[in-house]
Amino acid sequence: MICIDKYGINYQKCVKHLPARSAVQIKMRYRNCCRMLVKRSEYSLQEDSRIMGYVKQYGTKIWGPLANELNRSTGLLRQRYKTISNFLNRHPDKTIKDVPRRKSNVDGAEMKRYQLSR
């Protein structure tokens, strides 16, 4: 995160400080894990429905467009899809409304404080 704060999204400059990593690896790690702009809150019923509709239409290979639309990382969306699918397969009598939704560890106020501090 220090490199990103210092150089912005010029990942090639970050390579000097992380010689064991390539610029692509740094970029992907930042985009998928570290970027606080990515929403990490509880999934809503509408988001779950959108995920399932997207997979029905486009399959499970390309998550980028949906990630941009829902402001979530591709990894989080893939993981949520697996959670929903596994739940519905184990409980055929249940619907998407019954899928468990956990509370997030990161709340909106914490994200705002982080963004303002940068």
| 36-79 confidence digits (pLDDT tens) | 555 667 899 999 999 999 999 999 999 989 988 988 888 889 99
pLDDT of residue 116: 47
For 19-28, 29-38, 69-78, 88-97, which range has the lowest pLDDT when averaged over its residues?
A: 29-38
22 vs 10, residue with greater confidence: 22
Averaged over 86-104, what is the pLDDT?
90
Contact indicator for 84, 26 with CB cutoff of 8 Å: no
Q: How far apart are CA 11 and CA 30, in angstroms?
A: 10
pLDDT of residue 83: 96
Q: How far apart are CA 34 and CA 5, in angstroms?
A: 12
> For residue 45, what are its two tokens?
């019923």
For 14-18, 32-36, 72-76, 114-118, which range has the lowest pLDDT when averaged over its residues?
A: 114-118
